[in-house]
Chain A
Amino acid sequence: MSFLAGENMTGGYGGGADILHDCTIAVEKGEIAVIVGPNGAGKSTAMKAVFGMLPLRMGRVTLDGRDITGLSPQDRVRAGMGFVPQTSNVFVNLTVEENLEMGAFIREDDIRPTMEQVFSLFPILAEKRRQPAGELSGGQRQQVAVGRALMTRPKVLMLDEPTAGVSPIVMDELFDRIIDIARTGLSILMVEQNARQALNIADKGYVLVGGRNRFTDTGEALLADPEVRRSFLGG
């Protein structure tokens, strides 16, 4: 059984039409799983469903063997899930350090070691710790966003298009850091527009189309699959 799994998820926003149809997403401990697919395929929706932001009509979500389908997103954070939304994912008026502090709001113990870990992962943030996050560049903001989510010491980190709107160089840098994070034993589930680069670092890839699983395999195998290449990776 996978560490985090959304199985046979079916549902849509607020009683509207279903967006996900019998969709299954899972990630193993210390591995990176990537959700790719064309626009409107339900990638972000699938991730939100796993995080409890979408009511499910059918299916269930489990974390470390425990059924968490009924938990609110806030309770899932407490259960060990970290989520980085695609947009407005930092407190722009708060300094970098305060952003990290707020990330650790639910913790009662000493958060300084975790903050040092985040700073060693993203050294630029240590330099800018007293600067409001709103004044940072796009890539640095994404680092703050990821850092904020890491502050709860989650077991799973979920990233919704972490490289949206950043330059290719910054994107490579971010992917490297994501690999570093996975090596520390965290599971990572992310949605990506840059399918080729994302599948490159993925242990597992999910290609969604119309809210359904179309292809599911290792990242390597998906990159090698001629049909996936032709339909989704531009040849």
Chain B
Amino acid sequence: MSEPATAQPRAPKRIPVLGGYYALLIALLYLPIVILVIFSLNANQVLAFPLQGFTWQWYAQALANPTAVAAARNSVLVALGSSVVATALATMVAILVARFSFRGKRLLLSLAVLPLIVPYIVLAVALLLLFAALDVNRSLWTVGFAHTVIALPYALLIIVARIGGVSPFLDEASADLGADYVTTLRRVVLPIIAPAILAAWLVAFTASFDEFALALFLAGPDPTLPVFIYGQLRFASRLPMLISLATMVMAGTLTLALVADRLRRRS
């Protein structure tokens, strides 16, 4: 990250307005989660104030439920797989869009962005029909395929916004220095757009992890987490167990992010 404003002497005194704004947004984003944590420890089946005493029983219930634990694992697997594929495909399309001109370029670009616009429920039904026609059994694979399609446009828009700013002269310079085109892509273009690729991957992962509409239609015998939660939510008595499950997933991901940051800073 650059600090452009400090590079010149007349920099005005910095009031941390932006930092404060960021903190406020973070607070708003995490507030409902704090509430969920509180209710996950509350000895009441219904989410309502006043609180009725402390309990670990919902956590015990969630951990004792093998389907619940498996569902969390399934969601991680599907999100990892689909986000990596979606980001890879999006990077390919972005490079094509920015570096090549060919007939059908507009078609490819619109095709890649179009999934944004199709309601998930429609895509879900359509994919269900497709897999039925192909005689493919529904499984985590079918959910994963669907998630690559919906994550692709997000990833693409993010990467395209970055790659558009990479000067084509860099390619030429690289070629003049004797690099073949693949090397140019790998050594020049990809490193420059790497932050965007990372952000795109994060969004793709996020788009898949809590995705429900497609997964409900396309999941086979193994549910993903949102499908599992939906099934259990038909009856209100399961709610606290689900909240404790969600809290644990949240705690796990936050810890991972913090550890990753710590490791990165140390290295």
Bound pair: A and B?
Answer: no
